[in-house]
Amino acid sequence: MSARPSGPAVNPTKEQRTVSNNEPYSAKKMYRTHFEDYSRRWSEYFTMRREDGIIEVRMHSGGGPAKWGLELHRAFIPAFADIGHDPENEVVIFSGTGDRFLGSMDPEGWERYGFTKEYTFELGYEYWYKDQVHEPFALLNLEIPVIGAINGPFFIHQELALLNDIVICSESTTMADGHYTGMGIVPGDGVQTIFRELMGVNRAKYFLLTGQEMNAEELLNLGLVGEVVPDERLLDRAWEIARTVFKPRHPSARRMARALLVQPWRELLVRELPAGLANESWATHGYWGMAQENYDVENLKAE
């Protein structure tokens, strides 16, 4: 029997609570969120299902593989805050949709906010620095265990997978970084910290500066993931881990183990992320590829 629920994702009905409520929250009631609210509120970014306290969250774009864009970037912050404020959530499984985890950019979104023009301070701060100093903490601030299930290629924002408590990937997974050799910008949004810690200094620099692509077995051998799973078994295996590693433990043990194990990441990113992003944003004023004619925004290539 599959460990993963086989039914459809849970969706609210018209009779269930609405997304917005104009009445003030009661001063005699502890604040919390509700699955039927936020699963609908964030449905254009994430597909969610929950069973037995385990919530599966899969990012997507139009129901298919997620394309990285500014809206999705920002949505992570309030969406995972909503997940964290729901006491009925005990374990999170985080993954992508289809055959890619994050395989391309969203060119329409970048153009919509003016990123195909000359880079300005407003772009760097309002949509870039301001979001990314918070986005990794959208996951790290959760007080419940998180399983990262990488369902295929990804080339940017590896923190979404690699900062989690247990990380597994599919056999088709490949990983590269799109900053220096793709966008032609400074790799300073946290990857400089994450890969240094996971790979070691020299290997991390080689990976970030050369555009090296690693396959699933290389990720396993380097210790970036704990298991490589056949593609069709990935989410089933994530649910098995949720049920066998985390659910049998008392909630206090789960939460305190989580707090202990993510603390080093929190300290490192608090110290290094703002300065890294400042370097990344400042350097884009010297070169910004998206402003060039015929630049392939979706695949980060100058044609």
Catalytic residue ranges: 159
Whether 176 is in a domain gets the answer yes
Residue 150 belongs to domain with CATH number: 3.90.226.10
Whether 245 is in a domain gets the answer no
Residue reference for tokens 């998206």? 290
Whether 280 is in a domain gets the answer yes
- Residue 17 pLDDT greater than 60, yes or no: no
Rounded Cα–Cα distance for residues 157 and 161 (Å): 8
Rg (CA), the chain: 19
Residue reference for tokens 């950019």? 105
Locate 291 and state its tokens. Answer: 């402003």
| Burial of 226 per CB tally in 10 Å (0-12, 13-18, 19+) | middle
Whether 269 is in a domain gets the answer yes
If one counts the domains in the chain, the total is 1
Highest mean pLDDT among 15-29, 75-89, 101-115: 75-89
Whether 18 is in a domain gets the answer no
Q: What is the pLDDT of residues 159-203, one digit of tens each?
A: 999 999 999 999 999 999 999 999 999 999 999 999 999 999 999
pLDDT of residue 302: 74
Q: Which residue segment(s) compose the domain that 176 sits in? A: 35-234+250-302
Locate 70 and state its tokens. Answer: 């500014």
Whether 199 is in a domain gets the answer yes
Whether 281 is in a domain gets the answer yes
Residue reference for tokens 């100093």? 133
Whether 120 is in a domain gets the answer yes
pTM over 0.85: yes
Rounded Cα–Cα distance for residues 263 and 137 (Å): 11
Tell me how far CA of residue 33 lies from CA of 14, 38, 57, 72, in angstroms. 18, 8, 16, 21
pLDDT band at 103 (very low <50, low <70, confident <90, very high): confident
